[in-house]
Structure 1
């Protein structure tokens, strides 16, 4: 048994900072496929991104670290996409086992000076709810270690090496456990480092390691929907489950800018040479402005001027990719996904056609999509109106997203 690690007094517990450690270093071979299961898409969005969303939405969490497998940096970057929350730290490379990976993640937190409450969550559980995270935080403010648990409804048998039953334990004292598991940071780190120093492996969750270290582990109610994706059929069931939880929303956006002196315009994040520029507070990218408003419209969260007011000098000359990335990030934080972006540009010049593919690729990269989910159309106004007279250009946008139903 380890020497006890001092924990904060009750008067200090309420102000302890909270970190979340997402374990995503496994290979997930039982789930099938060539890509680790945490990076596979589930109803159009990577599993890891869906697992991160509820933690990003929790205001009490001040830091989030993801532990990934060696060489998975590109998969991680593709999965997190447009998430730009400052609380999401750079990923940490994991070890050969889950136990090693958690320890390395905890040591990274320690290196940043963190000390408080830590939630350990498996990336293969994408359906964690805000209510479950809330129960974990409440338990961690009382206990040194606490885990979500569900009553066992099936009869459990213990078998020998030959597969013969040797015991039928009473199920009224049995529970199945989930993540996120909640711990005081310093005792958990000490237990992990002590186990590593003793070359003890095989702990399948952090609660078992804390038991070994002599700590009492409390339980709190789990969530039957907080399933772990393990086998191929789990993805089929999870996709059906997720589709039932998502609501389709459609938003529209519009932007217009007048031409002025200059030698280029920005359109869809691409710099296009032109005989004129545009009058604007930022870079005047009508395409990205319209798309930003369309995405914000699906969330009913105002418009681009609400979040980036032109009266604020910090946005003078700003690159509009920041605005679209912000809106896409808001979708991700709500646990949603962008299904499709549709854009129409109206102007006599410059010609959009030669730049269509570059614009689609750039918008897709900013929003965390594949280019086949971005449509660009261009037309003129047949020499009518201000666009027909070559006085400016207009963009119309439509965004289709899927958002989880509010709990």
Structure 2
């Protein structure tokens, strides 16, 4: 991006009752995941977004808490604008920009979220929108009164992004207006011009059963899956700390390496990069670079996550097997799995970790070294 957007927060509004759908739409399954889960994932895959507040009733939160332990919740209000205010109050004061999004728009693309944030940074306020495709008639008592000029009509979407002080003032002055259907109307009343950012017709709001069918069809045609393989081998050396999958394991030896030697994270990072055809960590963090000597492998993994997001991809599943004679790894399975889920920011149930001994064969069998095999499956937006 040419302009730095700094710390940005997202407020995802998902407090509706789903009257037209016949049941709450936020948690309906879409391509094997609840609608709201897909919406949150889009913002997690947007590099500028550092904080997500979801405005939704308590009954919707268990599924989200399980998948995304770091998101913040707010209670819905009686109107959409009151829900937005509740969510806005939970955002960090450090956020320079705030993106407000409908939870029922799960197919928004991170590239469009980023573009809207960039426009808001430059102009103060911006909305995603698409040109109206149909001819629009103004009607009264069942008869056409006039026909609007379609060439100047745009259908507003979300997110709608604002510099924090602008949104705060608009909500404070006009947040009680029941007739307003989005925040940009309030910002317009402040006398601020709202920038239109071209979006995609895929970013449709799921309101009726037909919308859900349409979204399912789009998912089928726009996603590919790839699997990558990774491998690493390190010697064990007395006196070094032992890190496995980002977790520190008590032991008298640790892995020898230019970094902290966490061969599980190294193997998984290479598997992820392999699925993207994006090289390997030795290129990103060369062992000849003395400035990164002793670097935490968690930092390496976070860099790999940035690359994943830049490819509009998402890690769906990881599986790592460490082969070592010592220490015994099984007592640490839960700690390592939890650590891996946190490092790669993914649900715990999509993380597999296991160990094998080397039957006292060779250097590994003598407790002098260990190795790890890993695979990763990624979902990539075409």
- Which of the five TM-score ranges fits, normalised by the shorter chain? 0.7 to 0.9
Aligned CA distance change for structure 1 residues 18 and 399 (closer, same or farther; 3 Å):
closer
Alignment of 1:151 onto 2:142: no
**Whole-angstrom CA distance in 1 between matches of 2:301 and 2:124:** 42
In the other structure, the counterpart of 2:104 is 124
CA distances 1:308-335 after superposition (whole Å, capped 9, x unpaired): 45545566273x4444354345434543
| CA positional deviation for 1:402 | 1.1
**Whole-angstrom CA distance in 2 between matches of 1:29 and 1:222:** 27
**Whole-angstrom CA distance in 2 between matches of 1:220 and 1:251:** 36
| CA positional deviation for 1:401 | 0.7
Aligned CA distance change for structure 1 residues 218 and 259 (closer, same or farther; 3 Å):
closer
Structure 1: 5+ residue stretches without partners: 1-13, 83-89
In the other structure, the counterpart of 1:179 is 158
Aligned CA distance change for structure 1 residues 326 and 137 (closer, same or farther; 3 Å):
closer
Give the aligned CA root-mean-square deviation in angstroms.
4.4
| CA positional deviation for 1:395 | 0.5
Aligned CA distance change for structure 1 residues 77 and 41 (closer, same or farther; 3 Å):
farther
Paired positions, count: 370
Contact 1:144–1:183 under 8 Å retained in 2: yes
CA distances 1:38-75 after superposition (whole Å, capped 9, x unpaired): 9x77555822333315642xxxx6x6654432768876
In the other structure, the counterpart of 1:47 is 38
Alignment of 1:343 onto 2:302: no
| CA positional deviation for 1:132 | 7.8
| CA positional deviation for 1:338 | 1.8
| CA positional deviation for 1:110 | 9.9
Which one of the candidate residues 170, 175, 200 is aligned to 2:147?
170
Aligned CA distance change for structure 1 residues 147 and 44 (closer, same or farther; 3 Å):
closer
Aligned CA distance change for structure 1 residues 401 and 157 (closer, same or farther; 3 Å):
same
**Whole-angstrom CA distance in 1 between matches of 2:355 and 2:374:** 12
Aligned CA distance change for structure 1 residues 43 and 265 (closer, same or farther; 3 Å):
same
Contact 1:23–1:123 under 8 Å retained in 2: no
Aligned CA distance change for structure 1 residues 126 and 390 (closer, same or farther; 3 Å):
same
Alignment of 1:316 onto 2:294: yes
Structure 2: 5+ residue stretches without partners: none
Alignment of 1:208 onto 2:199: no
Alignment of 1:286 onto 2:263: yes
| CA positional deviation for 1:342 | 2.2
Q: Give the structure-2-normalised TM-score.
A: 0.73
